[in-house]
Amino acid sequence: MPDRLESSVSDRKPAIDLHGLVTELFPINRSLTGAGVRETLGVVARHIDLKINEVATGTAVLDWTVPMEWNIRSGSISTVSGRRLVDFADNNLHVLGYSKPVQGVISRAELAQHVHTLPDQPDLIPYRTGYFADDWGFCLSHKLWQSMTDEHYRVEIDSELSSGSLTYGELFLPGQSTQEVLITCHICHPSLANDNLSGIAVMTALAMRQARRTHRLGYRFLFLPATIGAIIWLDRNQSKLDRIRHGLVLTCLGDSSGFHYKQSRSGAIIDRAVAHVLRHSGHQYEVMPFNPYGYDERQFCSPGFDLPVGCLMRGVHGTFPEYHTSADNLDFVRPEALDQSYALIESILDLLDQNRTFERVDGRGEPQLGRRGLYRAVAGQREAGGATQMDLLWFLNLADGKHSLLDMAIRADVPFARLETAARLALEASLVRETI
């Protein structure tokens, strides 16, 4: 679904160069565990006060166990005479994630059992992992593999699986309320710019923004290895889960397609909030129902937790040709798309923080607006792009202690910010009070 990248939901820019951060992180080899994850979180920690957590190998977490730590130094396929054909140093997708060490000369037939290619995309390198497979392998272009006709090849993977730990990052920004917004991204993919780094970059910038602001809600930012990272956090934080009122998983935010939002499992305010912001954003978008496949929303929305967490993305995993291939590179991720994604989520967070419920001090009949100066105030707001008289009338009619500002904005079919402005004007005129 194409999107016009010229439009924007906000004139404000992130405090950092999002594409620049993606570029800095791109060469680092990441996996579920290991030095690359720590290096990535170290870069993020230069921008926000990130708490780095280590969970030891073998730790039981829900139905899982923290795996061995994996690190790799090199990997290659060479001719017997020594000419190198495939080199991990050239592209860190070349080695199957979590490959055990191997060294020696083997037949092409045996090597074929450990080679992964994309016959339908013969010029691209696939991204593959073998986290729990006790195996090794190489990923290369199908065109290169077809050209490799020698009977034997020299293979080498200098890697290590050892007792260590799994690393994740967390930043909690307390608010005036005990209620929280949970925002997460995954940090376990190697050089994939959209399906990994776009989420890290946008979330880092959002955390920087929220850290500078006073907010009603608390904000919890989690930088997690996929699946096992979310399971670890849920296992270790079960006493805090009742505080989470809204949640977003962020991924694939740098390509030029329209926005896609996958709803939470049971339906939640976050679903209505995101759909409302998208409707008034000027971008093309699609709202999709929950399904139990995808990113970490399926962990947060598992039946024992059923948290109000949805997933926001541009391209949908598995549906764009660059997905999990070497084509998901720095050229595929566009600076203007990253900035748009940041601005859209910024608007969503503002809505969540400002979504309150009001009731009229005296709800009998329509209040006289002229003697309170509200006609003049609305006229001034209209010139500034704020509330209209109709927005104010909608607000005063629905301020019954039962309708939130989001309810009102959806009912009136106007951007949330206009109803929030109307609420502020009515509150200043002592026509309403905020309900607890």
- Amino acid letter, 316: V
Sheet holding 51-56, edge to edge: 51-56, 165-173, 218-224, 180-186, 244-250, 309-313, 259-262, 285-288
Burial of 109-140, coded b for 16+ CB within 10 Å and e otherwise, reads eebeebbbbbeebeebbbbbbbbeeeebbbbb
End-to-end Cα distance, the chain: 42
Note whether 339 and 14 are within 8 A (CB): yes
Q: What is the Cα–Cα distance from 252 to 240, expressed in whole angstroms?
A: 28
Cβ neighbours of residue 110 under 8 Å, at least 6 residues apart? none
Known binding residue 195? Answer is yes
Cβ neighbours of residue 241 under 8 Å, at least 6 residues apart? 234, 305, 307
Q: Which two tokens stand for residue 12?
A: 């404000």
Q: If you write DSSP's letter for every residue of 128-181 in order, what string do you get? A: -B-TTS----EE--HHHHHH---SEEEEEEEEEEES-EEEEEEEEE--SSS-EE
Known binding residue 47? Answer is no
Count Cβ atoms below 10 Å from residue 299 Cβ, excluding itself.
24
Q: Which two tokens stand for residue 431?
A: 């026509």
* HSE-CB of 28 using CA atoms within 13 angstroms: 24
Sign, Cα dihedral of 27, 32, 35, 40:
positive
Known binding residue 186? Answer is no
Chain centroid to Cα 20, Å, comes to 18
* Annotated binding residues for Zn(2+): 189, 195, 324
* Annotated binding residues: 189, 195, 324
